[in-house]
Every structure is written in structure tokens, then in C-alpha cells.
Amino acid sequence: MTIDVVVYFSSLQKQTPSRKIDVLQAFADGARSQGASVVIERTYNVRPARLAVILGWPSQQQDGPNIRLRQAVVKEQKKSNNHVMAIDASTFKFHDTHGKYLRYSLNGVFYDTAEYANRNSDATRWTHISNDLGLHLHPWRSGGNYVLLLMQRDGGWSMKGLNPVEWTRNKIQDLRRVTDLPIVVRPHPGKKIDLSDLQKLNVMISPSKIRSLNDDLADAQSACVFNSSSGVASILAGVPLLVDDHSSVCWDVAHHDLAELATPQWFAREQWIYDLAACHWSDDESRRGLVFQKFLPFL
């Protein structure tokens, strides 16, 4: 008999007690509460199932037994016409610093190809999350003193193999052709990378480890990103955004040509934020089976 759900603790780098283990356990408990047969897999073996649940997604720049396990799970589930659920960080993590809400999707993590079960959502989830976290959708802003470049960490799946320093260097050169405004580069506040080449290009480097993203956005005329949740912060703050990657969650409410930032378009954002909020769930909601219920029609 085919198992309904396999939850892979082995998709984690470490299986010691942690929030990540709690997240996976919460989903397993929630699926069981809805009558599903559930197996928790701690080895690096792939088990046949209607739904395989992993935390994260395979990255081209990372390796290790848990990454290879994720790759094998994705490959085997696709081969057998079954499904993979990815649990990933919140797109509101710039504000939700404790990660209360996480993002759930089927068969991928890119917003333009994965199934998030969120199309044409109503305001319910956004109202709940915005009230809980104190998030707001601010009016579009006109004016500002600089263009903000939002760097991403090296090795993450969202960069699609691009080097973040190289992307930033090219973007600086492109901006010099269309604007005289100063450029502020905000490095990803996580893993430190060598910025010495960028410091030679007459830009300001934000001390992002001690300065908040909202502070960097406060006086920005516009912002640029490849594909990162920091773009969501820009859109919520009303700062016009340029996005390079069509897989970004911000694609539909952002510009795709640098020249457009001189006279930006004020996109309608209400349906966009309703749909985006509908991707996010707390551990408690997952434990109650609400996430499993949400995706059941797609399995």
C-alpha cells in the first residue's frame, strides 16, 4: 500500500532537536490528524509516497547528504507522478524575525512554476498575518535620495547559480547609465562575502548586520533585486522595485526595465498581497492539519 505522506527529517543538515525538526513534526502531526498515513524518514533513503515533505530545496551551489537526499526525493517523486512539498522561509522574514510563518508549496519553490494553492485568495490570511505581525501596505512613494541594491546570499537556490557580487557589479554599471542618484548596496546580513571589488565603484555599503532593511528603504527612491524576500519589504514600504528574475514573488508588482524607475508605475498590490499571504502558515496551523487540508485537492 502506498504511503500518503513521508516527512524527511533527513532533508535537514542536522536531525538534533531544533525548530526545523519541530516544523516537520508539526506537518506530520497535522497530516495524521486528517487521516493520512504518515512515515517520518530519518535515513537517506527515498520512500514511495503520494507526498514527500522536505524542508528547503536542492541548491546548485550546495552539497551534503541532506542536499543529495532532497535531489533524490524530487527526482523520484516526479518519476512516479507523485508530489514534493517544500517548506521554506517566510517572505516576511525581514519583519517576522522569529519565523513564526513559513511558506509551503508543491513541486518547486519558484513562484511562477510551483503550486502554492493561493490563486485569487481573499483578504483573510493577509488580515490575520498583518494584524499578528504588525505589517502594513504603505502608499507608493515618490522621491528619495538613492537607489538601493538588495544583495542575496551566495549559494541559495533563489540566485539560480548567479554570483551575487557579479550581479551587483553589473547592476551598478547599468544604473550609472540611467540615473545620477547615489547607489547604496545592502549586503545580505547572513554569511559574509568579499565586497572589496564593489567598494571601488563609488557606492555606499550599508552596515546590514546592524542596520535594518526598513531603515535602508526609508530614504530610497527605488530598489533593485534579483529574487529575494527583501523585495517584498520594498513593495510593502511603497518603494518602486526592479526585479530581474521572473520567478520572484514580486514580479507582478515590480518593474523589469531600469529606465522605468525614473517615472515608476504604481501597481495595484491588494490581490498580490492577499495571494502572497495565503502561502504562509504557522507551526500551530500546520499541526492542526490546515496546511495538509489546503493542498489535499492538488495531490
Question: What is the model's pLDDT at position 155?
Answer: 65
Contact 243, 229 (CB under 8 A): no
Q: How far is CA 91 from CA 67, 94, 95, 239, in A?
A: 22, 8, 9, 16
Number of Cβ within a 10 Å radius of residue 207: 10
User: What is the Cα–Cα distance from 87 to 100, expressed in whole angstroms?
Assistant: 13
In this structure, what C-alpha cell is assigned to residue 286? 500546520
CA angle 67, 250, 127 (to 5 degrees): 100
Average pLDDT value for residue range 11-31 = 97
Residue 132 has pLDDT above 90, yes or no: yes
* CA 200 – CA 204 distance, rounded (Å): 10
Strands (E), the chain: 3-8, 38-41, 49-55, 83-88, 101-106, 146-150, 183-186, 204-205, 220-225, 241-243, 280-282
Classify residue 139 by burial, with Cβ atoms within 10 Å: 0-12, 13-18, 19+.
exposed
pTM (two decimals): 0.94
Residues ≥6 apart with Cβ < 8 Å to 166:
none
C-alpha distances out from residue 88 to 37, 140, 215, 281, Å: 23, 28, 25, 11
Mean pLDDT of 19-45: 97
Three cell numbers at 182?
Answer: 547615489
The percent of residues above 70 in pLDDT, for the chain, comes to 99
H or E segment and range at residue 234:
helix 230-237
Q: In what order do the strands lie in the sheet with 220-225?
A: 204-205, 183-186, 146-150, 220-225, 241-243
Query: 101-106 and 280-282: which strand pairing?
Result: antiparallel
Burial class (CB in 10 A: 0-12, 13-18, 19+), 161: exposed
Residue (of 169, 93, 162, 173) closest to 133 by Cα position = 93
> Each residue of 98-126: pLDDT tens digit?
899 999 999 999 999 999 999 999 999 99
Tens digit of each residue's pLDDT (9 = 90 or more) over 240-270: 999 999 999 999 999 999 999 888 999 999 9
| Other beta carbons less than 10 A from residue 196's beta carbon | 7
| Percentage of the chain lying above the pLDDT 90 cut | 85
Number of Cβ within a 10 Å radius of residue 36: 19
Q: Are 124 and 290 in contact (CB under 8 A)?
A: no
CA distance 234 to 230: 7
Predicted pLDDT of residue 196: 84
Residues 6 or more apart from 99 whose CB is under 8 A from it?
A: 19, 89, 90, 93
Amino acid at 276: L
Domains of the chain: 3-133+276-298 (3.40.50), 146-268 (3.40.50.2000)
Quote the pLDDT of residue 62.
75
pLDDT digits (tens, 9 = 90+) for 162-186: 889 999 999 999 999 999 999 999 9
